[in-house]
Amino acid sequence: MHKEYENAILDITEEGIATITLNRPKALNALCGEINRDMMAGIQEVLADPSVRVLIMTGSARAFAAGADLKEMLEVTPRQARDICQLAKDINELLESMPIPTIAAVGGFAFGGGCELSLACDFRVGGPRTMLSFPEAGLGIIPGANGMIRAAQIVGPSKAKELSMLNSMVPGEEAYRLGLLNWFVKADPELDAAAAAAKKAQKEAKKAGDEAALAEAKAAAKAAEAAASQSEYDAIYGKAVEIAKQLCTKPARALESVKKVIYDAVNVNAQQGKLRETTEFSLLFNTHDQREGMTAFGEKRPAVYTNN
């Protein structure tokens, strides 16, 4: 299935992997009312399709989503700001609580609302050009779609305050070290080397003062960086698909239970999470896949799951 909205694209493969690609390239996928409505429409389509086992959220090589559209927000009233924020919150809450796993394939910038969107997914994949940031406090506001809360759950309160108050730019490798990314992948090393060499040549041409050579070097550096950036994004998205395929081999009911238990423990309270865990554990013993999984393990053969 392939469906194009004005600012997003939905694809669903025969394997049950859905991808929602943010598609507002001129604005680096900056989030606005229109793109949020398209995202919500795509997510609702995914929820209505029982064949979908995993949802991947992604953008482009340059930007996952470069924050909110400031032009839209500059003159809004507090009431309007709440309405804008509510749709973003609803999207993030759905990604976090929906019964299927969600993966953010984060190429390039994920600033502000884009960072919040990525943190609402169960898993995140990035690379060296991935850049996460909460710039809002420097603009006189704060993240409004619960991104700070989710960041605090991942990196702890003190580090979340640092990210939110100092508006730190977190490159992919550091984000992976902090746990903001689950997987860190790189581009083709030859393309990365070519991009570095072209950038060096541009600096040398600038230093030499040869305008014609500089213009040529700039064009070459831009093309080399674009190729390396696209290679990195392809690797990021490829890794997300690889993880999605692994998740598709697991019993859907068990994955849904994992999400329910952890959601309750994190978002309600630990005691409720413990109760939910016991309940879900018990109920899974009334499923075909529990019996099949354990029987197959004992018989030393691959399990054949039916997601029932």
- Indicate which residues carry an active-site annotation: 116, 136
62: tokens are 């340059």
Report the alpha-carbon distance of residue 207 to residue 203 in Å, rounded. 6
Query: What whole-number distance in Å separates Cα of residue 280 and Cα of residue 33?
Result: 37
Q: Taking phi first (over 0 means left), then psi (-120 to 50 degrees means alpha), and beta for anything else, what does residue 151 get?
A: alpha
For 49, how many CA atoms within 13 A lie in the half-sphere containing its CB? Answer: 21
